[in-house]
Structure 1
Amino acid sequence: MPNGPSDPARRHLTMPKEGPLLAQGPVVVELEDGTTVASDRFCVALCMCRRSATFPWCDTSHRNRPREH
Protein backbone atom coordinates (compact mmCIF):
# COMPACT_ATOMS: atom_id res chain seq x y z
CA MET A 1 0.00 0.00 0.00
CA PRO A 2 1.43 3.41 -0.90
CA ASN A 3 2.38 5.51 2.10
CA GLY A 4 3.96 8.58 0.59
CA PRO A 5 4.12 10.77 -2.51
CA SER A 6 7.05 8.79 -3.96
CA ASP A 7 5.26 5.43 -3.65
CA PRO A 8 3.41 4.25 -6.78
CA ALA A 9 -0.39 4.35 -6.65
CA ARG A 10 -2.17 1.01 -6.61
CA ARG A 11 -5.10 2.34 -8.66
CA HIS A 12 -5.51 5.46 -10.70
CA LEU A 13 -8.83 7.22 -10.03
CA THR A 14 -10.24 10.18 -11.93
CA MET A 15 -12.62 12.33 -9.87
CA PRO A 16 -14.65 14.56 -12.20
CA LYS A 17 -16.70 17.53 -11.02
CA GLU A 18 -19.88 15.77 -12.20
CA GLY A 19 -20.55 12.23 -13.33
CA PRO A 20 -18.93 8.95 -12.40
CA LEU A 21 -15.64 8.18 -10.71
CA LEU A 22 -13.37 6.53 -13.29
CA ALA A 23 -11.04 3.80 -12.03
CA GLN A 24 -8.44 1.72 -13.84
CA GLY A 25 -9.54 -1.88 -13.63
CA PRO A 26 -9.82 -4.59 -12.77
CA VAL A 27 -11.51 -3.53 -9.53
CA VAL A 28 -13.30 -5.03 -6.55
CA VAL A 29 -15.81 -2.71 -4.85
CA GLU A 30 -16.99 -3.28 -1.29
CA LEU A 31 -20.55 -2.02 -0.79
CA GLU A 32 -21.97 -0.53 2.42
CA ASP A 33 -23.50 -3.87 3.44
CA GLY A 34 -20.12 -5.62 3.13
CA THR A 35 -20.83 -7.46 -0.12
CA THR A 36 -18.34 -7.13 -2.94
CA VAL A 37 -18.76 -6.77 -6.69
CA ALA A 38 -15.98 -7.07 -9.26
CA SER A 39 -15.23 -5.94 -12.78
CA ASP A 40 -12.34 -7.09 -14.96
CA ARG A 41 -12.73 -4.21 -17.44
CA PHE A 42 -9.67 -2.02 -18.11
CA CYS A 43 -11.59 1.07 -16.92
CA VAL A 44 -14.78 1.24 -14.87
CA ALA A 45 -17.20 4.07 -14.15
CA LEU A 46 -18.44 4.05 -10.57
CA CYS A 47 -21.74 5.81 -9.83
CA MET A 48 -21.36 8.73 -7.43
CA CYS A 49 -24.97 10.01 -7.54
CA ARG A 50 -26.67 6.69 -6.63
CA ARG A 51 -29.20 7.08 -9.47
CA SER A 52 -27.83 4.13 -11.44
CA ALA A 53 -29.99 1.03 -11.90
CA THR A 54 -26.71 -0.91 -12.03
CA PHE A 55 -25.14 0.66 -8.90
CA PRO A 56 -22.23 0.74 -8.13
CA TRP A 57 -21.58 0.83 -11.89
CA CYS A 58 -22.59 4.02 -13.70
CA ASP A 59 -25.35 3.77 -16.31
CA THR A 60 -25.37 7.55 -17.07
CA SER A 61 -28.57 8.15 -15.09
CA HIS A 62 -26.91 11.32 -13.74
CA ARG A 63 -27.52 12.94 -17.14
CA ASN A 64 -31.31 12.84 -16.74
CA ARG A 65 -31.62 15.54 -14.07
CA PRO A 66 -29.52 18.13 -12.23
CA ARG A 67 -27.31 16.96 -9.40
CA GLU A 68 -28.68 17.50 -5.91
CA HIS A 69 -26.38 19.07 -3.32
Structure 2
Amino acid sequence: MGVMQILRPAALGAALIFVLSSSLAAPAPYYQYRSKLTGELACSPTPLGEGWVRSNGPYRDARCEKRIVVK
Protein backbone atom coordinates (compact mmCIF):
# COMPACT_ATOMS: atom_id res chain seq x y z
CA MET A 1 0.00 0.00 0.00
CA GLY A 2 1.52 3.30 -1.10
CA VAL A 3 1.71 6.53 0.84
CA MET A 4 -0.61 8.26 -1.65
CA GLN A 5 -3.29 5.63 -1.09
CA ILE A 6 -3.22 6.43 2.64
CA LEU A 7 -2.98 10.22 2.38
CA ARG A 8 -5.72 10.74 -0.20
CA PRO A 9 -8.62 9.49 2.02
CA ALA A 10 -7.17 11.34 5.04
CA ALA A 11 -6.98 14.62 3.10
CA LEU A 12 -10.47 14.12 1.72
CA GLY A 13 -11.82 13.42 5.20
CA ALA A 14 -10.12 16.51 6.65
CA ALA A 15 -11.55 18.69 3.86
CA LEU A 16 -15.03 17.25 4.43
CA ILE A 17 -14.85 17.94 8.17
CA PHE A 18 -13.72 21.51 7.50
CA VAL A 19 -16.56 22.20 5.04
CA LEU A 20 -19.22 20.69 7.30
CA SER A 21 -18.05 22.50 10.43
CA SER A 22 -17.89 25.87 8.67
CA SER A 23 -21.41 25.42 7.32
CA LEU A 24 -22.71 25.17 10.90
CA ALA A 25 -21.17 28.47 11.98
CA ALA A 26 -23.61 31.31 12.57
CA PRO A 27 -22.91 35.02 12.14
CA ALA A 28 -22.31 37.10 15.25
CA PRO A 29 -25.40 38.88 16.61
CA TYR A 30 -25.59 42.67 16.35
CA TYR A 31 -26.32 44.95 19.30
CA GLN A 32 -27.40 48.56 19.54
CA TYR A 33 -24.92 50.77 21.38
CA ARG A 34 -25.63 54.23 22.81
CA SER A 35 -22.97 56.93 23.04
CA LYS A 36 -22.40 58.17 26.61
CA LEU A 37 -21.48 61.59 25.24
CA THR A 38 -24.21 62.37 22.67
CA GLY A 39 -26.81 59.61 23.08
CA GLU A 40 -26.34 58.63 19.43
CA LEU A 41 -27.21 55.01 18.54
CA ALA A 42 -24.98 52.67 16.54
CA CYS A 43 -25.35 49.03 15.52
CA SER A 44 -22.35 46.69 15.75
CA PRO A 45 -21.49 43.03 16.39
CA THR A 46 -18.52 44.09 18.56
CA PRO A 47 -18.25 46.58 21.44
CA LEU A 48 -17.43 50.11 20.25
CA GLY A 49 -15.25 51.19 23.17
CA GLU A 50 -15.45 52.87 26.54
CA GLY A 51 -17.63 55.74 25.35
CA TRP A 52 -20.46 53.39 24.36
CA VAL A 53 -22.90 51.21 26.33
CA ARG A 54 -24.95 48.34 24.93
CA SER A 55 -28.61 49.34 24.96
CA ASN A 56 -30.60 46.77 22.92
CA GLY A 57 -30.19 43.46 21.18
CA PRO A 58 -29.42 40.95 19.92
CA TYR A 59 -30.35 41.59 16.28
CA ARG A 60 -29.90 39.53 13.10
CA ASP A 61 -29.05 42.38 10.73
CA ALA A 62 -26.58 45.28 10.57
CA ARG A 63 -29.38 47.85 10.82
CA CYS A 64 -30.57 46.45 14.16
CA GLU A 65 -34.13 45.99 12.85
CA LYS A 66 -34.72 42.21 13.05
CA ARG A 67 -34.53 41.03 16.67
CA ILE A 68 -33.35 37.55 17.54
CA VAL A 69 -35.89 35.82 19.74
CA VAL A 70 -34.04 34.20 22.63
CA LYS A 71 -35.85 31.29 24.24
**TM-score band (shorter)?**
under 0.3
Give the helix-richer structure, 1 or 2: 2
Structure with bigger gyration radius: 2
TM-score when scaled to structure 2? 0.20
| Higher RCO (CA < 8 A, seq sep 6+) | 2
TM-score when scaled to structure 1? 0.20
